[in-house]
Amino acid sequence: MTEPITFDLNGAPTSAECRADRTVLEWLRGDALLRGTKEGCAEGDCGACSILMRAPDDDRYRPANSCILLMGQVEGASLMTVEGLAAMGPDGHPVQSLMAENGSSQCGFCTPGIVCALAGLGDGDTAVDEPAVHEALAGNLCRCTGYRPIVEAALATAPVKLNAASPSGGRRASVGSANSQMHHPGNFEELWAVMKTHPGSPLLAGGTDDNLSVAQAHTRHDNIISLRAIAELARIETNATHLSIGGAARWCDMLPHLEMHWPSFAAMLRRFGSVQVRSVSTMGGNLATASPIGDSAPSLIALDSALVLKSSAGERRVSVEDFYTGYRETILRENEVIAAIEIPLSKDVEFRVYKVSKRYDQDISTVCGAFSVRMDGEKIASARIAFGGMAATPVRCRSAESLLVGKPLEALNDARISDAIEADLAPMSDMRGTANYRMRVARNLPKRLALDLSGEIVEVMAL
């Protein structure tokens, strides 16, 4: 069966007859002949492939990496490329004319992606100040002219709302070609039915990890099952005891909630995913891929979080700590999905997470350490410590936790705590750091936590 993929492109209703697993970048350049969008790294890191996308359930355009976005994922969405921005007026989008006037482009290869990133910033409600501009540009890594002229042009640009047409036809259950389809179930019953009809097909939430196999290894999928149209999986709710995040909720939607309850978690999130990545990727996907360098797991373990796993057979609740069984392996059963992540809310818990990496933005952690400390007066009533990026799975440091109970915060500086952490860890050596370096960092992070909680820490750009 062939069902064209329908979406809005630069203000015009569009129908694409192609494989659902084709990348949006490949289709734009090859079929639509819109070649302002470039391919640089083919892994969503350099930003040359940036376009703007307004999801069917969104109220604004957000930058996205077209090199790791599949055509099936844009069903019902609105897309805008640099050519669409240029058609906004005689001088294009204001950021385009200001970048030209300010000499903000040199070779021009990455400029279209930068323009899309800044146009996306202007389409939002965030004040366009210098920190916001730097955050918006964190996913665009090539800057021939340097930061200054680009930032100047961005700061001189007034926010401009981008209009989006709504594609006709609404959500289609299956789109793509006869040999590659993406299925969009709208509820769990439809999901179980599709999973039964197409057993073993990959489940896709954001795809910023799994889609790398398509972009780089040219993997092909006959069937892909998208989770984004299931409203329950995109839901974010807060009650008296916990924050519940749907398994397919995007990072950009949950960021305000993390900022409210755990600012350190939110600060780390801004570093491990650019705006382009956060507009598509999900916490459920970050967990389900079971990568040892997934940065959300240590924080969730330290916060004593749980997962709600759901299948046609029913529902079960497990701790994040017990979710991983080995390298890229989890306790997920066949035809089971992460329905929600539940993070307990508590006003008497101090939480910090520290990401140590070679590059400040958009880099893989060499060490990611998360600490949650509950105080009873001047003494530590309980502690949870977890590390990621060091071994095949995230590791909880129970020995150090037990030593801290009943002690004042100054105990974090005690060598016995560092020794206990060392006893609980067996770090690896790889291109990001040696086992010895990782161990030294892990031993010292409790001391950083002590300075942080005492108010003595001086904020730095990177560790």
Mind listing the pLDDT tens digit for each residue in 405-425? Answer: 999 999 999 999 999 999 999
Region 145-163: mean pLDDT is 88
Work out the pLDDT band at 457, boundaries 50, 70, 90. low
Return the residue matching tokens 């005492």: 454
Angle between helices 130-137 and 111-122 (to 10 degrees): 130
For 174, the enclosing helix (H) or strand (E) is strand 174-177
Alpha-carbon separation of residue 120 from 113, 333, 377, 444 (angstroms): 11, 39, 46, 39
Amino acid code (one letter) for 312: S
Angle between helices 415-424 and 435-454 (to 10 degrees): 140
Amino acid code (one letter) for 234: A
* Gap between the terminal Cα atoms of the chain: 53
Give 427's contacts (C-beta < 8 A, 6+ positions apart). 367, 390, 391, 435, 438, 439, 442
pLDDT exceeds cutoff 70 at 7: yes
Work out the pLDDT band at 165, boundaries 50, 70, 90. low
Q: Of 1 and 82, which is predicted with more confidence? A: 82
Overall pTM surpassing 0.85 (yes/no): yes
pLDDT, tens digit (0-9, with 9 covering 90-100), for 14-67: 999 999 999 999 999 999 999 999 999 999 999 999 999 999 889 899 999 999
Q: What's the mean pLDDT when you consider all of the chain?
A: 93
Report the helix count and the strand count for the chain, using DSSP H and E: 16, 20
pLDDT at 460: 45
Work out the pLDDT band at 166, boundaries 50, 70, 90. low
pLDDT exceeds cutoff 60 at 122: yes
Give me 247's structure tokens: 């398994």
pLDDT, tens digit (0-9, with 9 covering 90-100), for 211-229: 999 999 999 999 999 999 9
Work out the pLDDT band at 462, boundaries 50, 70, 90. very low
